[in-house]
Amino acid sequence: MRLFGYLLLFMLLGYGIWPYFTVFRLDEAINQEGTAHLATMVDLTAIRANYKARVNAGIDGVFPDSSPDSVMGWIRQNVDRLGDSALDQAITLPWVRDTLRESVTKATGQSPPYLLAAIDFAFFESFNQFVIRIGELGHGPTHVRLQRQGTDWMITDLIQ
């Protein structure tokens, strides 16, 4: 029974350390010129979906839901369509790398950026989500949300 307890404790410790290992890999990936290493750690579809949800929440305040036949409904449909195209063009792997680099440089003033020095907070949000805050709270931090997808932790949201 004691062996089972130690095995369970070891597994829990391993699971708790796992996303921190991903943070070390992320530090290495953002300092490389290419985006090949970073591509294995980023879910661009999820980042775009999260940005779209935030944009749509803002549009709801400006253009309330109305009949598709009305002028406001037509404007909202076009904003939605153009917004999707704009997000696909704007949110790319180089954008993710550059955003992380800029956030780290802003938080630490170091160049080249050293992610581990800029992290003010990194912990589990739930059993399969991990949040990293780059910079101090109240000073324009950047939040990076990692989500476990299969056997990897992937960046699924980047909030500036």
- How far apart (Å, rounded) are the C-alpha atoms in residues 24 and 115? 8
CB count in 10 Å sphere of residue 28:
11
- How far apart (Å, rounded) are the C-alpha atoms in residues 23 and 26? 5
What is the value of pTM for the model shown? Answer: 0.83
CB contact set of 69 (below 8 Å; sequence gap of 6+): none
- In this prediction, residue 92 carries a pLDDT of 92
- In this prediction, residue 89 carries a pLDDT of 85
pLDDT tens digits for range 48-66: 999 888 877 776 655 566 5
Q: Is 150 left (phi over 0), alpha (psi -120 to 50) or beta?
A: left
Mean pLDDT throughout 93-98? 93
Residue 134 domain boundaries:
2-159
Burial per residue of 66-84, b for 16 or more beta-carbon CB atoms within 10 angstroms, e otherwise: eeeeeeeeeebeebeeeee
Q: What is the number of structural domains in the chain?
A: 1
- In this prediction, residue 62 carries a pLDDT of 59
Question: Pseudo-torsion of CA 61, 65, 66, 71, nearest 10°?
Answer: 50
pLDDT tens digits for range 69-94: 666 666 667 666 767 777 888 889 99
CB count in 10 Å sphere of residue 110:
12
